[in-house]
Amino acid sequence: MSLTYRAAVLHKAGAPLSIESVTTSGPSPDDVVVRMKAASLCHTDLEVIDGSLRYPLPMILGHEASGIVEEIGSDVTGIRVGDHVVLSWNPHCGHCFHCDRGQPILCETYLEEGPKGLHFDGRSKAALGSGQPLTHLMFLGAFAEVCVLPAQQVVVVPKDMPFDRSCLIGCGVMTGVGAALNVADIRHGDTVMVFGCGAVGLAAIQGAAMAGAENIIAVDLDDAKLARAATMGATQRINASTQDPVEAAGAATKGRGVDVVLESAGHPTAFRQTTEAVRPGGEVIWLGKIDVAKDVSFRWGSLMGEKRLRRSSYGGARPRRDFPLLAQAYLDGKLKLDELITGRIALDQINSGFDLLRQGKTIRTVITF
């Protein structure tokens, strides 16, 4: 069955998104049709709009989203019409070299199809009114009233989970909490330093607290974000515009350096400071990113001392395992999500939402449908 719905379309990098009527031909046998209820604005969307992350256009952006299942393909099992779901952006084949080694984020099909902006089955799932096929960011394209996608990217969560909060689990919260719980080896009583207090960093602070960290040092350039970090479990705040995070790491640990650094600032200076702030034998997890063509320099000595340095893009996510756990943690009062939302807007206001994100003053702006 063909569906017509409204979507925010990017025709050209640097240009505003335009709200247009688009169509989809409905689900393939393995697909699910999700009626979107909430989608939040993430930095990765902004990188595509501003042109530092390049994809074939025209494209529907949006990859942090939740909704209600409206229709399922004939081969779909385990998902029912009416289920409340959070969308995952890491489909994987389950049987390639990297999938066999437990690294779905490196799945060969995922890495091959992603840059084309197509879905995991190699197809476009939506077209402009003119018939021109659209591409989809990160196998989703969630800034739209409807999203058609493979069932493996649709994760059922409890129905008492509010949509505008559950959507956050799909990218930023998963990445931050997952970095602390799935990727880093945080031990009870550890001192953890978190660089960057946006949505991912604030989630990382909460994950570090869940993992048993005793001291959590939050680093940012913005006092308002640091104040928010304190409400998420940070025990010390460092404004890097006036204080040196590396000195603070030493002062908090008798000069040793912190046990674990979780980085989500995405800046060359922060990257350099992470390896200086961690103790010998400690661990650095980089979550932030810069233009992939740019260089970052490190003092060689700061990399020595058996330090473990690792980049992670989705916090070791296994969405069908982790999304329901994160949703339950919220419902049990153990994970703060309300405090990450700094604004709610309609789809038509999406460009002003991205203007605010560009200014760096928001944590998460959520589109509610």
Spatial neighbors of 133 by CB under 8 A, at least 6 apart, are 124, 126, 127
Q: Which of 169, 201, 356 is nearest to 287 (CA)?
A: 201
For 310-325, what is the HEC assignment?
A: EECCCCCCCHHHHHHH
The interface mask with Zn ion, positions 76-115, x = CB under 5 A, is ----------------xx--x--x-------x--------
Counting residues that bind Zn ion (by CB under 5 A) gives 8
Q: Does 44 bind Zn ion (CB under 5 A)?
A: yes
- Angle, helix 223-231 to helix 199-210, in steps of 10 degrees: 30
Taking the complex as a whole, the smallest distance from the CB of residue 55 to Zn ion amounts, in Å, to 14
Q: Which H/E stretch holds residue 193?
A: strand 191-195
Find, among 209, 208, 190, 204, the residue nearest to 281 by Cα: 190
What residue type is assigned to position 82 of the chain?
G
We find the least distance from the C-beta atom of residue 163 to Zn ion, in angstroms, to be 17
x/- mask, Zn ion, residues 171-190, rule CB under 5 A, reads: x-------------------
The least CB distance from residue 171 to Zn ion, in Å, is 3
| Residue 197 identity | C
Q: What would you report as the CA-atom Rg of the chain, rounded to the nearest whole angstrom?
A: 20
Minimum separation from the CB atom of position 75 to Zn ion (A)? 19
Residue 32 binds to Zn ion (criterion: CB under 5 A): no
Closer residue to Zn ion, CB minimum distance, 84 or 92: 92
Q: Is the dihedral of CA 355, 358, 361, 365 positive or negative?
A: positive
Q: How far is the CB of 289 from Zn ion (least distance, A)?
A: 11
What six digits make up the tokens of 338?
Answer: 């309300």
Q: Is 199 exposed, middle or buried (0-12, 13-18, 19+ CB in 10 A)?
A: buried
Least separation in angstroms between residue 170's CB and Zn ion is 8
Residue closer to Zn ion by CB (options 96, 285) is 96
Contact between 66 and Zn ion by CB under 5 A: the answer reads no
199 sits near Zn ion (criterion: CB under 5 A): no
Least distance between Zn ion and beta carbon 356 (Å) = 16
Which C-beta is closer to Zn ion: that of 42 or that of 85? 42
Single out the segment in contact with Zn ion by CB under 5 A; choices: 18-26, 41-49, 121-129, 289-297.
41-49
Give the closest residue to 42 by CA, choosing from 273, 293, 287: 287
Comparison of 45 and 283: residue with beta carbon closer to Zn ion: 45
- The residues that touch Zn ion, with contacts defined as CB under 5 A, are 42, 44, 92-93, 96, 99, 107, 171
